[in-house]
Amino acid sequence: EAQVTQNPRYLITVTGKKLTVTCSQNMNHEYMSWYRQDPGLGLRQIYYSMNVEVTDKGDVPEGYKVSRKEKRNFPLILESPSPNQTSLYFCASSSLPTAEAFFGQGTRLTVV
Amino acid sequence: GQQLNQSPQSMFIQEGEDVSMNCTSSSIFNTWLWYKQDPGEGPVLLIALYKAGELTSNGRLTAQFGITRKDSFLNISASIPSDVGIYFCAGPPLNAGGTSYGKLTFGQGTILTVHP
């Protein structure tokens, strides 16, 4: 079954404690991206990756890092989380940026 | 970054009614994508539009790529309770050279509630 898997689904953490949200896809897609969803703001792109070792900033990259060491995985790293990073995060993959994107189930992060 | 403005922000309708929503931008897009997000799920693609003036249907859904390339419309006919959710437009913003550079911008979403 074609899918994008994010982990964890829910996470509560404290300010400053580094965390990683994993994302894995099994469709051999080259394009992957991370979004955060906040009420009234829709989905905002954090980072995207056109291929292995190729990553670039989206619209709201501050406070986040990503890596793309292999095609299937695209982890999102928060080196020093802050409360304003409390949000619902989605990972997505597609063959091209304009092709159908497959989204993960989301990770609800709370930073206290 | 470039913004997509969706309208209306929310709609409350009766089952059986038709629904119209739109998405506008201050700059042109070469592609318009419409996604739906069910409660507790990630968005799912409904319709993709790749050419100005294009009109595409998917069941009871019809979407159009505006002639000016700065807007797009989504219509849902004869709404049913499972149409409830958030509808997003999305597209890749163009850089100064006119080519898309990999980003994808989403609108704020239209929240649809359907009363049985």
CB atoms within 10 A of CB B66: 20
Test B43 with A103 for CB contact under 8 angstroms: yes
If one compares B3 and B104, the residue with the highest pLDDT of the two is B104
Q: Is B81 helix (H, G, I), strand (E, B) or coil?
A: helix
A vs B, Cβ pairs < 8 A, gives 70
Quick check: B48 and A94 in contact, CB under 8 A?
no
Test B106 with A31 for CB contact under 8 angstroms: no
Q: Is the pLDDT of residue B1 over 60?
A: no
Interchain contact B55–A (C-beta under 8 A): no
B40 backbone φψ class: left, alpha, beta (φ>0; ψ -120 to 50) = left
As a whole number, mean pLDDT of residues B16-35 equals 94
pLDDT of residue B3: 80
pLDDT band at B2 (very low <50, low <70, confident <90, very high): low
Sequence length of chain A is 112
Site of tokens 């159908």: A100
If one compares B96 and A3, the residue with the highest pLDDT of the two is A3
Q: Is the pLDDT of residue B82 over 90?
A: yes
Low-confidence ranges of chain A (pLDDT < 50): none
Q: Which residue, among B104, B84, B73, B105, has the nearest Cα to B10 in the 3D structure? A: B84
Which residues does chain A have within 8 Å of residue B90's beta carbon, measured at their own beta carbons?
43
Q: Which residue, among B25, B32, B27, B17, has the nearest Cα to B104 in the 3D structure? A: B32
End-to-end CA distance of chain B: 39
Name the average pLDDT for chain B: 92
Phi, psi dihedrals of residue A83, rounded to the nearest 5°: -55, -30
Interchain contact A40–B (C-beta under 8 A): yes
Q: Is A85 helix (H, G, I), strand (E, B) or coil?
A: helix
Nearest-Cα distance to chain B for A77, in Å, is 19
Give A37-81 as a 3 state SS string.
Answer: EECCCEEEEEEEEEECCEEEECCCCCCCEECCCCCCECCEEECCC
pLDDT of residue A104: 96
Q: Is the pLDDT of residue B61 over 90?
A: yes
Q: Is the pLDDT of residue B71 over 80?
A: yes
Peptide bond into B92 cis (omega under 30): no
C-alpha span between B108 and A66 (Å, rounded): 24
pLDDT of residue B100: 62
List, as own/partner pairs, every contact residues A51-58 make where C-beta atoms lie below 8 angstroms and the sequence separation is at least 24, other chains included. A56/B102, A56/B103, A58/A33, A58/A34, A58/B1, A58/B103, A58/B104
Q: Is the pLDDT of residue B33 over 80?
A: yes
Neighbouring C-alpha atoms within 13 Å toward the C-beta of A73: 9
Q: Is the pLDDT of residue B70 over 70?
A: yes
Test A42 with B48 for CB contact under 8 angstroms: no
Test A58 with B103 for CB contact under 8 angstroms: yes
